[in-house]
Structures are given as C-alpha cells and as structure tokens.
Amino acid sequence: MTTEALLTLKEVTKKYGNREVLSDISITISQGDCIILRGSNGSGKSTMLRIVSGLIPITSGQRLLKHSNLLIGYTPDRLSKLRMTSTEYLTHMGRISDIPKRNLKDRIRELHEFFNLEQSDSLKMTHFSKGMLQKTNLMQAMIKTPDVLVLDEPFSGLDKESTGHLLHSLKKIKSQGTSILAAVHDPLLASQLESRTYWIRQGRLTKEDVDSSSDQKAAYFELEGVLNQDVVDLLPNLFPDITYKTGDSGYMLFTFMHKDYREFLPEFVHKGGEIISLTRKELR
Ligand SMILES: Nc1ncnc2c1ncn2[C@@H]1O[C@H](COP(=O)(O)OP(=O)(O)OP(=O)(O)O)[C@@H](O)[C@H]1O
C-alpha cells in the first residue's frame, strides 16, 4: 500500500448464501479521491459501499485500512423520517460515537451551518423535505470528520435546487480533504464532482475509460423533444448514461454527455423522435 492509500479492497468476493454478488473486487481509495460507482439496479453497488464502510463482512479477499482509527462516514440511500429534530438525532448519533457532550453541541451547530440547514428546536424530521433529510443523513456521517465519506445515491429524489445545494456541499467536503466514494446514478452530477468512475457489471469492477480531452469531458447536451414512450423505456438499456425527465416546457428533456451524442442523436431521429431544441452546455 502506498503511504497515501487510506483503504484498499483486495480481490474481495461477497456471497449472499450461495449467490456471488461481487467477484474479485480490487480498488484503492486514497487521500483526496472522489470515486463514483455506477451499475444497474441490483448490480452490487450498495453491497460494495457497505463492505468499504465495514458494515458487512466479506466472503473472501482483504479489506485493508491505512490505520485502525481510520474514520469512515456512511450515508445509506435514505434516512427514515424520525419523530425528533435533527439536533436530537445528531446528539444521539454523536453519543454513540463517544463524542464528549460539549464538543458535540459545537459540532452539531457547525454541521448545520455547513449544510445551511436551520437548527430548529421544534421542527421534527417527520416534516423534513427530501433535501433536508438528505442533509441530515450526511450530517450523521460527518459527526466525526471522516477520512472517507461513503454515499449511497445521495442525489436520489432531490429536486434541482436541493441537488445544487448538495453538490456544492460535497465539493466543499472534498476540498477540505475528505475522500468520497459514492454511488451516483446521474453521470452529469458525477462529472461535476471531478471524479473517476467505476462500473460494477456481473459482479466485477471496471474503471471507466475517459476521453482525456478536457473539452469533451466538460461538455454535455440538453435535447428538448418528443419521443414515443415505448422507445423512452428502452433508453436505460441502450444509453445508460442518458437521463430524461419532463422539462419546464412540457417536452421531454434528455441530458447526455459528449461521448454519447454521435450515437444518440441519429438513434433518436431514427426511432421517430422530434427535436424541439438542442443546446450544448459546459460543466463549469
Ligand atoms: N442482505 C442481503 N441478502 C441477500 N441478498 C442480498 C442482500 N443485500 C442485497 N442482496 C442482493 O444482492 C444484489 C446486489 O444488491 P445491492 O443492493 O448491492 O445492489 P445495488 O447495485 O445497490 O442496487 P440498486 O441500484 O437497486 O440499489 C441484489 O440481487 C440483491 O437482491
């Protein structure tokens, strides 16, 4: 292991019963890394994140830490809406982590400030929005400043504004030196975190080849148009990196990276799609 490597999985295999979900997984997370994990539903992303976090045992292979005190913060894909305020919840989590009472109060205030979340004495998590809940989810993972922050679909279900806030927070966390490992479905969000991407397919982990041209890496496209729903339903299989939703104008809005446009555009037209507008955008 190099000096800066924080955590390494070496030839890790995970079985649930007789079923092998992960095979021969090797990866190193180093200081300052931001690693995105992708893969279809049920491919094993959550399993790998839980293994990295030390929450479930591996079947074979090795999980090596730089030192035994390495702090790993884990955020599950969602947090339950509990009948308590975020402060009460974090106080509870902090006590479990043995943080002295005085320091804990300061840390909880600091975290609310960091995530720009009002520290209310009365608003219970049952009344939180998805964005507020996700911020609380992150706060619990950061109650002690982690060396590695592990995130399971942190943007899932968030609206555009909350996504922007969270992205900003994650960039800040990263700039402060915490390494990040996250399962992120949306390639556009992933690329904004200036990360490297790994895919899990058939239980195996592969690193995504990235075109080193920064011009291409920084570009993405938004296509407003009309496309038959039967074809839309096929898109995740044909173009797993393309996301779509109904845009403000009522048309479908497809977002795709530069690498997909040469194949996606002819396919879109060929399958009867009608383009209303096409805009090239820059990530930064
Ligand atoms: N505790 C468990 N016991 C048995 N099988 C499990 C367990 N946890 C997960 N699995 C199975 O392992 C496979 C991988 O699940 P995992 O949740 O890791 O996938 P994922 O990539 O995170 O999926 P998704 O994107 O849908 O959340 C799935 O087939 C799942 O049913």
User: Mapped to the 3 state alphabet, what secondary structure does the chain carry?
Assistant: CCCCEEEEEEEEEEEECCEEEEEEEEEEEECCCEEEEECCCCCCHHHHHHHHCCCCCCCEEEEEECCCCCCEEEECCCCCCCCCCHHHHHHHHHHHCCCCHHHHHHHHHHHHHHCCCCCCCCCCHHHCCHHHHHHHHHHHHCCCCCCEEEEECCCCCCCHHHHHHHHHHHHHHHHCCCEEEEECCCHHHHHHCCCEEEEEECCEEEECCCCCCHHHHCEEEEEEEECCHHHHHHHHHHCCCCEEEECCCCCEEEEEEHHHHHHHHHHHHHCCCEEEEEEEEECC
Q: Is 116 in the pocket of ligand 1 (CB under 6 A)?
A: no
pLDDT tens string 14-73: 999 999 999 999 999 999 899 999 988 899 999 999 999 999 999 999 999 999 899 999
Q: Is 41 in the pocket of ligand 1 (CB under 6 A)?
A: yes
Residue nearest to atom 4 of ligand 1 (CA): 16
| C-alpha 43 – ligand 1 centre gap (Å) | 7
Q: What does pLDDT average to over the chain? A: 89
Q: Is 225 in the pocket of ligand 1 (CB under 6 A)?
A: no
Q: Is 76 in the pocket of ligand 1 (CB under 6 A)?
A: no
pLDDT tens string 229-278: 999 888 888 888 888 888 888 899 999 888 888 889 989 999 999 999 99
Pocket test for ligand 1, best of 13, 14, 16 (most atoms within 8 A of CB): 16
Q: Is 203 in the pocket of ligand 1 (CB under 6 A)?
A: no
pLDDT tens string 115-165: 888 888 889 999 999 889 999 999 999 999 999 999 999 988 788 888 888
| C-alpha 80 – ligand 1 centre gap (Å) | 19
Confidence (pTM) = 0.81
Give all domains of the chain, ordered by start, each with its CATH number: 5-207 (3.40.50.300), 214-282 (3.30.70.250)
Q: Is 250 in the pocket of ligand 1 (CB under 6 A)?
A: no
